[in-house]
Amino acid sequence: MYGLEAISANNGWAMALLGITIVFSGLAFLSFFISRLHLFLEFWENKDERIAKLKKRFQKKPEIKKEAPVVKVPDNLQEAMAQFKMLTTRIGDPFSLPRLIEMAEMSGLFHPHSTVNKFIKAGVIEPDGKGFFTWKL
């Protein structure tokens, strides 16, 4: 058996194809390597600087803590707030707003309704979404 028949019978076509693929892959890899060679050389020349840059990139960035929104209480409300807070230590937090006003009235606090309203407007007291209210400070 000679010629093409012999090639076919002994997997010659497959071997040839494999050989071509290997050679072309090698050449492609080599050409790619050569085309990028200048980058490797450049990296090698400045290796200390490049390594430092890479290290910096992968270092964990310090987390910036988000500060809770600051509720500013006007000075004239500070004292009233302390008095009302004292009342809520007895009824707990979250608390019933009408109960707080009732206790403030019984304690003889000055203008309990409008003071509570000022607390709400200033964001010192907030509704808890369940019908009660809670101190934000």
Partner 1 sequence: MSTDIQTLKSLDLFSAFSNEELGFLVEIIDPLKVTEGEILTQRGTPATTFFIIISGNFMVSFKNGHAFTLHEKGNVIGWSTVVTPFNYTGTATALTDGEVLTISGDELLRIVQEDAPLAQKFMEKINKVVEERSPFVTGKIAGTSETTDNSEV
- Could you give the residue ranges of the DSSP H alpha helices within 65-137? 75-91, 97-106, 112-122
d(CA 105, CA 86): 14
CA distance 115 to 9: 102
3-state secondary structure at position 58 = helix
Q: Which residues of this chain interact with partner 1, rule CB under 8 A?
A: 96-99, 101, 111, 113-114, 116-117, 120-121, 126-127, 129-133
Identify whether the C-beta of residue 111 lies closer than 8 Å to the C-beta of residue 104.
Answer: no
In angstroms, give the least distance from the CB of 74 to partner 1: 16
Q: How far is the CB of 114 from partner 1 (least distance, A)?
A: 5
Nearer to partner 1, 10 or 107 (CB): 107
Q: In terms of CB distance, is 61 or 121 closer to partner 1?
A: 121
Nearest distance from C-beta of residue 63 to partner 1, angstroms: 30
Closer to partner 1 by CB, 12 or 74: give it.
Answer: 74
Q: Which is nearer to partner 1, 62 or 129 (CB)?
A: 129
* CA dihedral sign of residues 10, 14, 18, 19: positive
Cβ at position 129, least distance to partner 1 in Å: 5
